[in-house]
Each structure stands twice: as structure tokens, then as C-alpha cells.
């Protein structure tokens, strides 16, 4: 038997025998193995493994299969009486047995994704301190950042390739959550593995606990995070700079996904580090890519071109501006000039239309509307309101990224429907309680206005809607369709940076997957049975499709630095490196 790579951890190493069969060379012994989530097989350990590794007699005598364990745990999962109880059940499985956790959620991904990710993860974030049971990931603070090099060396995985890091300042639509945001990083990484094929032993969840501006958290005796106001300015970036430096020293091939940073800092963080190490912001770029993909699919259903649409984006935070930027790039890819693309997009913040020369926010500058665009409109104030934009510009697309529940009122939806036979309306805010409008209401209000149909997608999962005798599947514009494939491609190709072209390619790949699998039948004039996003059950297939497309682009553009990747069979490379939830044989080292 021969070693194929550097030891993955102090506890085990992945090796391959002369027949190319993988196994684990195990350095631990006895009960320690049963306490290590990465090694524990529970009742699936063979008799030989129990004897050779020194824990015979510590388990029930019957040896079961991984499938048997999954079946038993699924029964336990369904017995839970609330979503948060189901979340805690799954997290407990993960902290006992990593392989079993991924075998379980991979088999029931469509059912369990709303538990481990949005919307239930939002509740888990809010209750993080009271729900806390087991440590996972790393936490950096102003008090420990001087020891960042030692902290990264405390982490047991020697080949980290993907890090999801948050400062918890803008979690979903629920804002500053302090230390609780670590649950978001944990959930994202679970989808990198279950959906994207990335080994969990190449990942790291990070909380950059720079304090919280919420007095209720700071004064809560049960709160587990830093009980100080949030750092700003140089003190804030000192923490991030030293964190990034420590990561580069220990894991030079690691990629960082910046997660849930507030709008006033998200763009600055992305710009500061994007050329220092491969990194991206999922709220800005991942959200933009998944929305662009949905719009491409919606336009295909309507038989129209994206370049002919007029688009309103309501919400000018990190997500809204990120979406607007990516759509703008998509319009330019379709042949428009940058100026033409800007003129067809109307970005709204809490004050009204975001206008060049009026809005003071620098990060909004690339997506600001020109003031002469509305010089002939009759408006009440200095800048147009949402309703005035809808009435005057007559947009075909309305996107919500505000986190404001019910913002898309009946008047707003009916105004959209009066301008279009089939308006495209995406209320995308998470969690479900923050959505701008309920899909069922959107269809009803469009019917009230006399339109024949609408194309609706949301950020969180919604049940099918029956309207006018037709059943509509509500597409879920979930970032999970983008980031696992984008990230896995970046890891496999060992990219030098994550570029805008990679983001756009992932969007077009998702749209092409949807068209190939769900939009082939153009014989129907109505929209039922037409999917603008694949079902969550397709997540693994979607991720592999995107991985291939992005890897091809990386090679073409010279972004992939992995040795000899130009000569690789990309499909074979993806298959060989996709981690599977399976028990490997153990050998005592």
C-alpha cells in the first residue's frame, strides 16, 4: 500500500492501495476513534476494525451498513416536532459521524436543505448561543487575532481548500447576529459537500467576531460572543488582515467565501482581498448569478431576449447591488453597451430610485440610473418612487432583495401586470417571513389586473400555487445552485483568482442546465410545468454541470494554475475528486 498525499490530519490519512482502492490509515486508537466525528462509523465498524483499532466491546455486537444507519436516522428525523428540532437533530448527527450526516442529507436533500440552510438556519442563527452543543470551525476576535497563526494551526485539517467566513453583520434578512452567524458558515459548507462534491475535510467555517451593535445580545448573560460594540475602521481591518495572512501561510491554496457582510463593508472587503487570494462574496456575486440565470430562463419561456427587458431591482444593499451588477454584466454579454444596460435597470433604495449625482453611496455608483432617463416623467419628488418607476418606465421584471415583508403590495403587483401580459416577479428575500410578497398573492393580484400569467420565483421554498385552474411550481432562486459548483471548480483548478467572467459563466451554465432539462417542450402557451430553476433534488447534477463549465472557462482564460490541467480529462477530474459519503476501510497505522 502506498501513500498518495500528505496526511490530511493528525488522526488519519487518505491512501490508495495497489488496486486503486481508497482506505484510511488511522493513527488514533480506542475510544478516541468513536469520539472523532471524522472517523466514527458507529455500529458499522467491522469486527476486524474493532479488534485492530482497540475498541472491541465498546459497541453493540451487530455490524450494520451505512444504509441501515441512514434508514434508522431518517425515522428519528421525521419524529422531530419542529424545524428547529430537526436542525438540532441533524447537527448532532454531524458532530457524531461526518460520513453518516452527509449520507443522510444527500439521500433526502430536497427535504433537508430547508432545515440545514434557509429558512430554518435563520432561526438557528438567532438561537445560536442557547442551542450551542459542540465546537465547529474557528473564531477570530480582536483579543486573539495576534495569535492567528497559532489558531489556524489548532485546526486539525491540513489541506483546507474552502473557507466560508462571516462577520455576522447582515445575516439573511435578520441583520446583525453577532457570534450566531457561524451557523451560516456551517450550513453553507454542508452544501458544498452534499451539493458540490467538496470533501468536508477540505473545508473550514470561520466567524470573525468583531462584536455586535445589538445591546440585547451584549447584555444577554447567555450570549457566547464578544460583548463589545462592533469594530470599525483600522481596528476592523486589522482583524481581517491578520486572519487572511494566517490563512495564506497555513493553507496557500485556500479560497475564501465572504458571507453575510453588511452593505457598507461587503464591497470594501471584496475589493481589498480579491487580488490577494482567490475569494468572492456569495451575497453579491452568488445571488447575482442565480438571479441572472432565472431571468435567462424566464425570458426563454416568454420567447423574448434579456436585452429587451426593463428591470427594477428593489433593495440596494449588498445583495441588491450585487444582483444589479451581475445582470448588467449579463446584458453586456448579450450585446448592450454598459450605458444601455444601466438605462434599462432601475435600482431602488429606501429613498427611491438610485440616481447618479444624488445617491451618496460609492458602492452603488456602477448601477446608478442617469438623471436624464426620467426627465420627462411626472413625479412628485426629486427622484421617482417605486410606483412611479413602474408606471412611467413600464418594467417587465420586478426583483425584491429588501428583507421587508409585504413590500410588494397589491397596487405594485397590479401595476406590473397592467404593463405586461406575463410580468416576471421575483420576491427573493430570506427567510420566508421577510419575503416581499407571497407567490399565491402575486398570481391572484395579476389575475385581478387581467393578465394571463406571471413568472414567479422566490428565495425561500414555497409550495405550488393553483391559480385560474393552473398549477404553478414556484422556482427557488437559491444561491446553492451556484456556489457549490463555482467553488468546486475553483478548488479543482486551483484558480489564481475568482473573476467576474467565472460568475457570469456559472449563471449561464445554470440557465443552460434548466433549458436542457426542463424547457424543451415549447408546445404549451401557459407556464405551468415550466421551471425557471431546477428542483433542489437536482442540486448535485447542477453543481457538476456548473463545475465543468467554469473549469473549462478557467483553463481557457489561464486562471487555472493546477499543474497539467490543460491536458486533463475534465469530466474524469471532477468524478475522481468528488467526495462521496461512504465508509472506507480502516488500517491501523
Q: Is residue 222 part of a domain?
A: yes
- Residue 273 maps to a domain: yes
Answer yes or no: are the C-beta atoms of 398 and 309 closer than 8 Å.
no
What confidence tier does 567 reach under pLDDT thresholds 50, 70, 90? confident
Q: Which run of H or E residues covers position 534?
A: none
Last residue of a domain, one of 277, 294, 314: 277
What pLDDT is attached to residue 66? 98
Does residue 299 sit in the same domain as residue 385? yes
Does 267 share its domain with 296? no
pLDDT in tens, 68-104: 999 999 999 999 999 999 999 999 999 999 999 999 9
pLDDT score recorded for residue 118: 86
Instruction: Report strand pairing: 345-349 vs 279-281.
Output: unpaired
The answer, yes or no, to whether residue 256 has pLDDT greater than 50, is yes
Rg value, the chain, Cα: 25
| pLDDT over threshold 80, residue 289 | yes
pLDDT of residue 519: 82
**Alpha-carbon torsion angle 223, 225, 226, 232, nearest 10:** -120
Which CATH number goes with the domain that contains 119?
3.40.50.10380
Label residue 524 by pLDDT band (50, 70, 90): very low
pLDDT band at 538 (very low <50, low <70, confident <90, very high): very high
- Confidence class of residue 340 from pLDDT cuts 50, 70 and 90? very high
In a domain, 171, yes or no: yes
Same domain, 293 and 242: no
- One domain for residues 377 and 479: yes
* Active site (annotated) includes residue 18: no
Q: Mean pLDDT across the stretch 46-67?
A: 97
Domain count, the chain: 3
**Are 324 and 401 in the same domain?**
yes
For position 564, what pLDDT does the model report?
Answer: 87
Residue 84: inside a domain, yes or no?
no
Q: Write down the pLDDT at residue 1.
A: 26
Structure confidence at residue 527 (pLDDT): 52
Same domain, residue pair 419 and 436: yes
Q: Which DSSP symbol is given to 365?
A: G
Residue range 384-420, pLDDT digits in tens: 999 999 999 999 999 999 989 999 999 999 999 998 8
**What is the reported pLDDT for 467?**
85
Q: Pick the catalytic residue: 15, 87, 102, 117?
A: 117
Least confident of 20-34, 291-305, 561-575: 561-575
Domain end position, chosen among 254, 277, 300: 277
Identify whether residues 256 and 336 lie together within a single domain.
Answer: no
Other C-beta atoms lying within 10 Å of the C-beta of residue 279: 22
- Looking at the fold, whether 255 and 300 belong to one and the same domain comes out as no
- CB distance 207 to 181 below 8 Å: yes
Specify the pLDDT at position 521.
56
The predicted pLDDT at position 87 comes to: 98
- Assigned domain for 315 exists: yes
Candidates 15, 86, 188, 325; catalytic one: 188
Q: How many C-beta neighbours within 10 Å does residue 402 have?
A: 25
Q: What is the mean pLDDT of the chain?
A: 94
517 and 582 fall within a common domain: no
Q: Which three cell numbers stand for residue 83?
A: 424545524
Residue 371's domain is classified under what CATH number?
3.40.50.720
Average pLDDT for residues 557-579, to the nearest whole number? Answer: 92
* pLDDT top residue among 521 and 166: 166
Give percent above pLDDT 70 in the chain: 97
Please give the Cα distance from 560 to 547 (Å, whole number).
13
Same-domain check for residues 392 and 412: yes
Residues spanned by the domain of 7: 2-64+559-588
- 322 with 232, same domain: the answer is no
Task: Using the predicted structure, report yes or no on whether residue 434 has a pLDDT greater than 70.
Answer: yes
341 shares its domain with 477: yes
Query: Would you say residue 239 lies in a domain?
Result: yes
Residue 550, in any domain of the structure:
no
Q: Is the pLDDT of residue 450 over 50?
A: yes
Strands of 2-3's sheet, edge to edge? 2-3, 12-16, 22-26, 586-588
pLDDT at 528: 55
Instruction: Calculate what percentage of the chain has a pLDDT beyond 90.
Output: 88
**263 or 231, greater pLDDT:** 231
Give the model's pLDDT for residue 451: 66
Residue 522 has a pLDDT of: 46
Q: Is the pLDDT of residue 514 over 80?
A: yes
Quickly state the pLDDT bin for 452 (edges 50, 70, 90): low
> Higher pLDDT residue, 413 or 529?
413
Is residue 543 included in any domain, yes or no? no
**DSSP string computed for 198-258:** --GGGEEEEEEE---S-HHHHT-TT--S--SPPP-HHHHHHHHHHHHHHHHHH-TT-EEEE
Of 216, 245, 277, the one marking the end of a domain is 277
Per-residue pLDDT at 2 exceeds 90: no
Mean pLDDT highest for which of 488-497, 530-539, 558-567? 488-497
Amino acid at each position: 500500500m502506498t501513500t498518495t498525499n500528505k496526511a490530511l490530519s493528525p488522526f488519519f490519512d487518505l491512501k490508495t492501495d495497489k488496486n486503486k482502492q481508497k482506505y484510511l490509515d488511522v493513527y488514533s486508537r480506542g475510544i478516541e476513534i468513536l469520539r472523532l466525528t471524522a472517523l466514527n462509523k458507529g455500529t458499522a465498524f467491522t469486527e476486524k476494525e474493532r479488534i485492530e483499532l482497540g475498541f472491541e466491546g465498546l459497541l453493540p455486537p451487530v455490524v450494520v451498513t451505512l444504509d441501515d444507519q441512514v434508514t434508522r436516522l431518517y425515522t428519528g428525523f421525521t419524529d422531530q416536532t419542529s424545524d428547529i428540532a430537526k436542525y438540532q437533530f441533524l447537527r448532532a448527527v454531524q458532530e457524531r459521524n461526518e460520513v453518516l450526516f452527509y449520507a443522510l442529507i444527500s439521500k433526502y436533500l430536497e427535504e433537508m436543505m430547508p432545515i440545514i440552510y434557509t429558512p430554518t438556519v435563520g432561526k438557528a442563527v438567532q438561537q445560536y448561543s442557547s442551542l450551542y452543543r459542540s465546537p465547529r470551525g474557528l473564531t477570530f476576535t480582536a483579543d486573539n487575532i495576534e495569535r492567528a497563526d497559532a489558531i489556524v494551526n489548532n485546526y486539525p485539517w491540513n489541506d483546507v481548500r474552502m473557507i466560508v467566513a462571516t462577520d455576522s453583520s447582515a445575516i439573511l434578512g435578520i441583520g446583525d447576529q453577532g457570534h450566531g452567524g457561524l451557523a451560516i458558515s456551517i450550513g453553507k459548507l454542508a452544501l458544498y459537500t452534499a451539493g458540490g462534491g467538496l470533501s468536508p475535510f477540505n473545508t473550514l467555517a470561520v466567524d470573525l467576531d468583531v462584536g455586535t451593535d445589538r445591546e440585547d445580545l451584549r447584555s444577554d448573560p447567555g450570549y457566547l460572543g464578544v460583548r463589545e460594540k462592533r469594530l470599525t475602521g483600522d481596528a476592523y481591518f486589522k482583524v481581517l488582515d491578520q486572519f487572511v495572512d494566517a490563512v495564506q501561510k497555513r493553507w496557500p491554496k485556500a479560497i475564501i467565501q465572504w458571507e453575510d457582510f453588511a452593505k457598507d463593508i461587503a464591497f470594501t472587503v471584496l475589493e481589498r482581498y480579491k487580488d490577494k487570494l482567490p475569494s468572492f462574496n456569495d451575497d453579491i456575486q452568488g445571488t447575482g448569478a442565480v438571479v441572472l440565470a432565472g431571468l435567462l430562463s424566464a425570458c426563454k419561456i416568454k420567447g423574448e431576449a434579456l436585452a429587451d427587458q426593463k428591470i427594477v431591482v428593489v433593495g440596494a444593499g449588498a445583495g441588491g447591488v450585487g444582483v444589479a451588477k451581475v445582470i448588467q454584466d449579463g446584458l453586456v454579454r448579450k450585446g448592450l453597451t454598459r450605458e444601455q444596460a444601466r438605462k434599462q435597470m432601475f435600482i431602488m433604495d429606501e429613498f427611491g430610485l438610485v440616481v447618479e449625482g444624488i445617491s451618496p453611496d460609492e458602492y452603488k455608483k456602477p448601477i446608478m440610473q442617469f438623471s436624464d432617463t426620467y426627465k420627462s416623467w411626472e413625479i412628485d419628488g426629486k427622484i421617482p418612487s417605486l410606483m412611479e418607476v413602474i408606471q412611467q418606465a413600464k418594467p417587465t421584471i420586478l426583483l425584491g432583495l429588501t428583507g421587508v415583508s409585504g413590500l410588494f403590495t397589491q397596487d405594485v403587483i397590479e401595476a406590473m401586470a397592467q404593463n405586461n401580459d406575463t410580468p416576471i416577479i421575483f420576491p427573493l428575500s430570506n427567510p420566508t417571513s421577510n419575503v416581499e410578497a407571497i407567490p399565491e398573492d402575486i398570481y391572484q393580484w395579476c389575475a385581478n389586473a387581467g393578465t394571463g400569467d406571471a413568472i414567479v420565483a422566490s428565495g425561500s421554498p414555497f409550495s405550488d400555487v393553483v391559480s385560474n385552474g393552473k398549477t404553478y411550481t414556484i422556482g427557488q432562486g437559491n444561491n446553492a445552485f451556484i456556489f457549490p459548483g463555482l467553488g468546486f471548480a475553483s478548488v479543482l483548478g486551483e484558480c489564481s483568482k475568482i473573476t467576474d467572467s467565472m460568475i457570469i459563466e456559472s449563471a449561464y451554465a445554470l440557465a443552460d442546465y434548466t433549458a436542457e432539462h426542463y424547457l424543451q417542450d415549447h408546445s404549451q402557451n401557459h407556464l405551468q410545468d415550466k421551471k425557471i430553476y431546477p428542483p433542489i433534488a437536482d442540486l448535485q447534477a447542477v453543481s457538476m454541470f456548473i463545475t465543468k463549465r467554469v473549469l473549462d472557462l478557467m483553463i481557457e482564460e489561464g486562471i487555472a494554475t493546477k499543474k497539467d490541467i490543460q491536458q486533463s480529462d475534465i469530466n474524469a477530474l471532477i468524478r475522481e475528486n468528488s467526495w462521496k459519503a461512504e465508509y472506507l476501510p480502516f488500517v491501523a497505522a
